[in-house]
Amino acid sequence: MAFDLEKNDTKFVVAGGGTAGWLTALQIRQHFPDVDVTLIESSDIGVLGAGEGSVPQFIDILHDIRIPVSDLIKHADATIKNGVKLVDWNGRGKDDVFFSSFASIDPLDYVINTRPSYSLMSMSTLESIVNGKALGDINFNQQVCNGNKVKFVKDSRADKKSDPMSHFHQLGPYSVHFNAVKLAKYLKTVGIRRNIKVIDGIIKNINNDEEDYITSFDLEDGTNVPCHFVFDCTGFKRLIIGKHYNAEWKSYKEYLPVNKAMPFFLPLGEGSIPSYTEALAMKYGWMWKIPTQERFGCGYVYDSTLVSDEDAKKEIQEAVGREIEVTRTFSFEPGTYKTPWVKNCIAAGLSSGFVEPLEATSIHVCVISFCLFLAYIKGAVKRNEDCIKRFNQTMGYINNDTLNFLHFHYLTERTDTVFWKDFEKRTKCPDIIQDFKDNNKDPVHLLSRDCITNNLFPINLWLEIGAGVRFFNRQAVTETFESINTGSRKALYGINSKDLRARMKQAYAELEDHTAFINYIKSNK
């Protein structure tokens, strides 16, 4: 039965709380202010609380639902994230690092007119590979991370009575780290204030009509919750999309062997708070280290077929130099549902699938899925099957982009264990990466591909990771660089490259220290 989004008798139900559930409920309320929104969550089940990093699109969604970033800094221990620092991925020690940045310096959006089109940063990255140099001297974002700075400059003209974030001029995209449990609690407070109904209960039965559309939920306490449309945010339980609708699962385990995570916490320590997530390569996977204002949220993601939980814990303790407390682990199969939208239900967040924690892609995909829902809204209100099909196809493309990009991170020089030495033997190579290999690992081929230029992850990110893991053929890069850096373009590149470095130095000098920035935001009401 079709429904009218402008009538207050239209009922949306979000099954599950946490970050995904509350973001979804708040977006529904923002875009459809007249509908009835009910969120069902269970205090007995709680929040997973392991995913505490995000991407710049998360900031966009916060703006969309009218939640200032300053509120997260004040209520969810949020800190600024400028990217990911990858440590020891080539097995050369902890001083061997590279970065996955959110962006190059944004005020310098030069483009050199070639085909394919190369930005100044792409050209500079190619030149660094040719010369065997790290990217730090030409990557503004990396310099910001290394200095524990944030891409904010104090604005003397700002109205001091306004949101303290507006007291600064922003020099580029950023995201945040947060305490996942505190964030969920804060979003819930905002949701209740915005007339989102909350039911603390456990779903017992899901009731369908004759066409298999969900009509209501029966809870264990006898409550019946009617609905017109549902978002499944039940996390790894996948109560609706998986257990109720039995949607087909698309596994990625043959491409990505990590299948278990061991979360734990570390004290923050002295000094300025890092403005990046750290991803430290380990013997059988990698370890995340995410700074909030009070502690580091950490976790080892590993291949449980190669190492026991006991030995994984020992390896962590050797790496961090102290005893750790592990209260739980969780297993997962990398993959996604082929049809995250079935009938009148969309799975969002972990319910729709999970590749792995690297690059905070889970929250990224969750944000995108709601935007796509808005684009294909006729699939909900008119039950238009073509819109539902296109939504599912687009989500499939996005998940494949994610798989390809994350697999690319593992093509390193590290060989100290079976996990790294035999990675390419033990896993299947995605077609796009096999294509790169077949074309001499040449970045010109990489940059000219439609599947990269239209990719979820920007070209410069592929270049950064490829350079970091030493994937590219240096001779091919040299030939590419020399072929495009000629004549008038060479002169233009030389001028712009020199200007880039000068302006980066000037901009860096004006940036705020991360810890000082956090303290300023918290101290201003």
Task: Indicate whether 381 and 461 sit together in one domain.
Answer: no
Q: What is the pLDDT of residues 192-228, one digit of tens each?
A: 999 999 999 999 999 999 999 999 999 999 999 999 9
- Full pLDDT tens readout for the chain, 525 residues: 556 676 668 999 999 999 999 999 999 999 999 999 999 999 877 665 565 889 999 999 999 999 999 999 999 999 999 999 999 999 999 999 999 988 544 333 433 444 445 567 778 888 888 888 878 778 888 899 999 999 999 987 777 778 899 999 898 889 999 999 999 999 999 999 999 999 999 999 999 999 999 999 999 999 999 999 999 999 999 999 999 999 999 999 999 999 999 999 999 988 889 999 999 999 999 999 999 999 999 999 999 999 999 999 999 999 999 999 998 999 999 999 999 999 999 999 999 999 999 988 888 899 899 999 999 999 999 999 999 999 999 999 999 999 999 999 999 999 999 999 999 999 999 998 998 898 888 877 666 665 665 678 887 788 889 999 999 999 988 988 888 888 877 887 777 778 878 888 888 899 999 999 999 999 987
Instruction: Please state, in angstroms and as integers, the Cα–Cα distance from residue 142 to each residue in 85, 107, 154, following that order.
Output: 8, 16, 21
**Do residues 168 and 68 touch, judged by C-beta distance below 8 A?**
no
One-character DSSP codes across 34-69 = TSEEEEEE-TTT-------B--HHHHHHHHHTT--H
Nearest to 60 by CA among 370, 420, 397: 370
Nearest to 337 by CA among 419, 257, 236, 418: 236
pLDDT at site 506: 87
Tokens for 149?
């700075």
Nearest to 37 by CA among 240, 199, 242, 205: 199
Q: Is residue 29 in a domain?
A: yes
Q: Is residue 74 in a domain?
A: no
> pTM for the whole thing?
0.93
**Do residues 30 and 64 touch, judged by C-beta distance below 8 A?**
yes
**Could you give the number of structural domains in the chain?**
3
Out of 273, 305, 331, a domain closes at 331
Task: Indicate whether 216 and 98 sit together in one domain.
Answer: no
Task: Indicate whether 170 and 183 sit together in one domain.
Answer: no
Nearest to 41 by CA among 228, 233, 209, 215: 233
Give dist(CA 406, CA 327) in Å, integer.
28
Task: Indicate whether 305 and 447 sit together in one domain.
Answer: no
Q: Is residue 520 in a domain?
A: no
One-character DSSP codes across 480-496 = HHHHHS-HHHHHHHHHH
The parent domain of residue 126 ranges over: 80-175+429-512
Containing 513, the helix (H) or strand (E) segment is: strand 512-513
Instruction: Please state, in angstroms and as integers, the Cα–Cα distance from residue 118 to each residue in 121, 124, 486, following that order.
Output: 8, 10, 13
Running DSSP on this structure, what letter comes out for residue 196? -
- Could you tell me whether strands 285-291 and 277-281 are parallel, antiparallel, or unpaired per DSSP bridges? antiparallel
Total count of residues recorded for the chain: 525
Give dist(CA 39, CA 198) in Å, integer.
5
Tokens for 239?
């109560």
Task: Indicate whether 108 and 169 sit together in one domain.
Answer: yes
Task: Indicate whether 324 and 348 sit together in one domain.
Answer: no
Q: Is residue 519 in a domain?
A: no
Task: Indicate whether 234 and 345 sit together in one domain.
Answer: yes
Instruction: Please state, in angstroms and as integers, the Cα–Cα distance from residue 187 to each residue in 56, 72, 181, 391, following that order.
Output: 18, 9, 10, 27
Out of 331, 348, 372, a domain closes at 331
- Phi first, then psi, for residue 329 (nearest 5°) are -130, 165
Tally of CA atoms within 13 A in the half-sphere of 85 that contains its CB:
24
Task: Indicate whether 433 and 503 sit together in one domain.
Answer: yes
Q: Is 101 exposed, middle or buried (0-12, 13-18, 19+ CB in 10 A)?
A: buried
Running DSSP on this structure, what letter comes out for residue 272? P
Task: Indicate whether 192 and 209 sit together in one domain.
Answer: yes
End-to-end Cα spacing for the chain: 47
pLDDT at site 127: 87
Q: What is the pLDDT of residues 15-69, one digit of tens each?
A: 999 999 999 999 999 999 999 999 999 987 766 556 588 999 999 999 999 999 9
Out of 331, 364, 394, a domain closes at 331
Task: Indicate whether 147 and 201 sit together in one domain.
Answer: no
Q: Is residue 155 in a domain?
A: yes
pLDDT at site 107: 34
pLDDT at site 115: 44
Task: Indicate whether 442 and 508 sit together in one domain.
Answer: yes
In 154-308, alpha helices (H): 180-193
**Residue 345's domain is classified under what CATH number?**
3.50.50.60
Task: Indicate whether 402 and 481 sit together in one domain.
Answer: no
Instruction: Please state, in angstroms and as integers, the Cα–Cα distance from residue 385 to each residue in 7, 346, 388, 461, following that order.
Output: 23, 14, 5, 35
